[in-house]
Amino acid sequence: MEIVILLIGTYGTGDAQGIYLCEFNTVTGELSAPAQAAVIPTPGFLAISSTGKHVFAAGRGEPDSPGAAGRVVALRWDEDARKLDLLNDLPTQGQGPCHVSLTPDNQLALVASYGSGSVEAFKVSEAGILGQRSAFIQHAGKGANPDRQEGPHAHSFTPSPDGRFALAADLGLDKLFVYAVNQETGALTPHDPPFAEVAPGSGPRHIAWLTSGPKKNTIAYLMNEMSGTVTVFSWDEQAGRLEEVQTVSSMPPGYEGHKQSAEIRVHPNGKFVYASNRGDDSIAAFEIDQTSGKLEQIEVVSCGVEWPRNFEIDPSGNFLLTAGKNSNDIAVLKIDQESGELTLTEHRIDVPAPTCLRFMPQ
């Protein structure tokens, strides 16, 4: 479809808080004026069911307080009214929830909490209602950086492509944990081996799977926030085992400034990976070697916003949209689907503290 719906999670406050939506034109790159779709506090990260009927949000009471208590919220998409209706919300056991995802069968919501360094899972009914907490796991330990790795900081919790495993990136421990998922009960069990490690001080944040091409479902790309790098892992989907293949910089050549990378995405055509850097407000583009899954940097370009905490690629693969948390706006970059190169367009909209972008399934 030419016109698609974009949902926007935010850290907006007061009358501006909640989830916003707008229409996006996948041919021209134009965005409509945003409107509030649901008024709920700090929906910092969103997950949408594969059916497009249900939306889940993770948020904490205070946007800038990682240790604050938080909640996970379930909503139903009302297509006629163009809004989200609240189904239910539950408190998280962990503090500072920052990430939520759904297993491929839409029956389990996975939540990571940065403040407490923990992960948990909630059963989800066919009607999209959050049920009982089916698992809670507290990480323990510390990393090499005393300022940011004084303890565990789980930053994302993402299912494997087949849903048999869930991977938790812990920024505080420099580990990518692997948990076996009981798809009947929602229980989580540490796998053997229980984790893969990255270089000390890397600060793992988010992962993205390669889901097309010859290496489909066998490569995971890990964004390391503190080192400004991407680690490439091979994934044995039967054994549930990770093996490091490569680590590459997401920063411009020779860059020596502040590093605080954020999001990572694989292009729908399976040829490119993109990563956002908040240190210099940029997007790095990489070409994927179709034989090995390894990356080669193509370019690093200005993303057009300040503090790109999140970004998304539209379903057509024509455009990349960046969320500027500190500049309160969303910018649009054109993707050359042959070269992977990015060009900043004139299209943008103002949104209060956008932190997560998600397109509704078609």
pLDDT digits (tens, 9 = 90+) for 264-316: 999 999 999 999 999 899 999 999 999 999 999 999 999 999 999 999 999 99
Q: What is the pLDDT of residue 267?
A: 99
> What confidence category does residue 63 fall into, taking pLDDT thresholds of 50, 70 and 90?
low
Nearest to 281, CA basis, from 254, 300, 256: 300
pLDDT surpasses 80 at 232: yes
pLDDT surpasses 90 at 335: yes
CB count within 10 Å of CB 146 equals: 8
pLDDT surpasses 80 at 1: no
For tokens 């090995």, the residue is 292
Max CA distance (Å), the chain = 51
- Half-sphere CA count of 147, side-chain side, radius 13 A: 2
Q: What is the pLDDT of residue 64?
A: 66
> What confidence category does residue 49 fall into, taking pLDDT thresholds of 50, 70 and 90?
very high
Nearest to 111, CA basis, from 55, 41, 166, 48: 166
Nearest to 233, CA basis, from 217, 220, 214: 220
pLDDT digits (tens, 9 = 90+) for 20-32: 999 999 999 999 9
- The three-state secondary structure class of 143 is coil
More reliable by pLDDT, 68 or 343: 343
Nearest to 47, CA basis, from 209, 198, 156, 169: 156
Instruction: Give strand pairing partners of 119.
Output: 112, 137
DSSP string over 94-135 = EESEEEEEE-TTS-EEEEEETTTTEEEEEEE-TTS-EEEEEE
What's 257's DSSP letter?
A: S
Distance CA 60, CA 269 (A): 35
Q: What is the pLDDT of residue 68?
A: 76
pLDDT digits (tens, 9 = 90+) for 151-164: 999 999 999 999 99
Across 161-184, average pLDDT: 98
pLDDT surpasses 80 at 258: yes
